[in-house]
Amino acid sequence: MVLMMARQATVLTLLLLLLLARSDTQVASRNVTLCHDVDGNGVIDVVDAQQVAAHAVGSTYHPGFDVNGDGEVNILDVTSVADAWHTTTGLCMPGNGGAAPWLAVSSWVYQLTGYPNDSLNQIAGSNFQLAVVDLARDGSGDFFTRSEIAAVQATGKIVLAYFEIGAIEEYRPEWPLTPPDLMLGPVNGWPGEQYVKYWDPRWWPIVRGRIDQAIAAGFDGAYLDMVVTYEEIPANSAGTNRADLASKMVDLIDQTSDYAKSIDPDFKIVPQNAPELHTWPLYLPAIDGLGMEELYYRATNQACNQSWCTENRANAAAVRAAGKLVLAVDYTNQAAKIADAYTRARAAGFVPYCSDVALDVMRVNPGWDP
């Protein structure tokens, strides 16, 4: 044990000497695109080098310290930090200037599981302008770190954290903290997921905790799912009616937005589905965008021709006309239907994406995605 620690200390010393030996002239000549501010404090310094060097000598791969995104943490990552020494190049702090303006976003990727090597390197290496990913790599308590999110942002991407505000899955860390009487029964098609009484004051600390986690990890915003709970649970669930359930959901979105923006005014709020809520006065001022599933194709490869599909498209168009970004995801894997979904979405002013309903891959649709 003593010998191993001595060897590690020697490696750390050599790596840091290499770092300090780099000249400022050499540093300035590099065009760094990935994240070198490993600890996310706004400065590239010896602490960042120490952290990367410490993880370069171990046998376990830590994606948060793979600053050059090659799938390994080694001497190349330390020299990459060295090249950015005492510069502002590659700071990759949240909201970095390399990202597209919010309303100019024209491509996005939506992936909630199946990250290769449990890292976001594949997404970082893609040409998408915006990414929606889960708060945690495993959907549970293994949260993405600030340096991992910053590394994706450093490639010019906006990164939103996915989580639910109207339901809870049994694998989430908050599941055992949720009082049983807050649960309203399983979500249709998802037996391990329960609707919740989202209007109950005891639910708010869970939503607030998720916002806190997203902001602490440096996400640019939150992508809020299960807004549709208000229309899928019995109308008398709160002892009132459907209109009151809608009002209560808008109140929760508004509360979430107010809380997040009180900490970070630039933090984006993007609810998914239920675009008809735009008619409620508090809704549009609270949101920055809208995510929509199945505007054109339902899972999987089924044309969305029902009356509710037409209503969703009209309501989503109203949200877009109000100056909000609209992200559309359709579930089809057939080339002609992918082409149709992208063409129609773009004509409506939406940002299209087609993937598998499991959202467990980064799908690049040839000829349509960058």
Contact 184, 237 (CB under 8 A): yes
Q: Where are the alpha helices (DSSP H) in the chain?
A: 2-20, 24-28, 46-56, 75-83, 121-124, 146-153, 204-216, 229-232, 242-263, 283-286, 307-321, 335-347
- Tell me, yes or no, whether 130 lies in a domain: yes
Same domain, residue pair 22 and 142: no
Contact 119, 66 (CB under 8 A): yes
In which domain, by residue range, is 27 found? 2-83
Is the model's pLDDT at 171 over the cut of 70? yes
> Does residue 263 or residue 54 have the better pLDDT?
263
Cα separation, 347 vs 341, whole angstroms: 10
The one-letter amino acid at 53: A
SS3 content of the chain, % helix, strand, coil (to 5): 40, 15, 45
DSSP code per residue over 218-270: T-SEEEEE-TTHHHHS-TTTTSS-HHHHHHHHHHHHHHHHHHHHHH-TT-EEE
* Cis status of the peptide bond prior to 145, with omega within 30 of 0: no
Report strand pairing: 130-134 vs 158-164: parallel
- Tell me, yes or no, whether 194 lies in a domain: yes
Token pair listed for 276: 């008809």
Cα separation, 286 vs 315, whole angstroms: 17
Instruction: For residue 255, give the nearest of 199, 215, 307, 217 by alpha carbon.
Output: 199
Cα separation, 149 vs 133, whole angstroms: 10
Cα separation, 134 vs 360, whole angstroms: 11
Interval 38-62: pLDDT, tens = 655 556 777 777 777 876 766 555 5
> Does residue 354 or residue 14 have the better pLDDT?
354
Cα separation, 312 vs 328, whole angstroms: 11
Task: Tell me, rounded to whole angstroms, the distance of Cα 198 from its chain centroid.
Answer: 22
The one-letter amino acid at 302: Q
User: Going by C-beta distance under 8 Å and a sequence separation of 6 or more, which residues neighbour residue 2?
Assistant: none
Same domain, residue pair 142 and 220: yes
Token pair listed for 95: 């909201």
- Tell me, yes or no, whether 232 lies in a domain: yes
Half-sphere exposure of 53 (CA within 13 A, CB side): 22
Cα separation, 152 vs 103, whole angstroms: 19
Token pair listed for 176: 């055992």
Same domain, residue pair 47 and 117: no
pLDDT of residue 76: 83
Cα separation, 109 vs 354, whole angstroms: 9
Q: Which of 51, 83, 115 is the last residue of a domain?
A: 83
Same domain, residue pair 37 and 158: no
Is the model's pLDDT at 2 over the cut of 50? no
Place of tokens 């916002």: 211
- Tell me, yes or no, whether 97 lies in a domain: no
Q: What are phi and psi of 325, to 5 degrees?
A: -75, 135
- Tell me, yes or no, whether 93 lies in a domain: no
Q: Could you tell me the CATH number of the domain that includes residue 117?
A: 3.20.20.70
Interval 311-369: pLDDT, tens = 999 999 999 999 999 999 999 999 999 999 999 999 999 999 999 999 999 999 999 99
In total, how many domains does the chain have? Answer: 2
Range with the poorest average pLDDT among 29-33, 137-141, 219-223: 29-33
Interval 175-199: pLDDT, tens = 999 999 999 999 998 999 999 999 9
Same domain, residue pair 59 and 178: no
Contact 253, 271 (CB under 8 A): yes
The one-letter amino acid at 200: D
- Tell me, yes or no, whether 360 lies in a domain: no
Token pair listed for 337: 């239907």
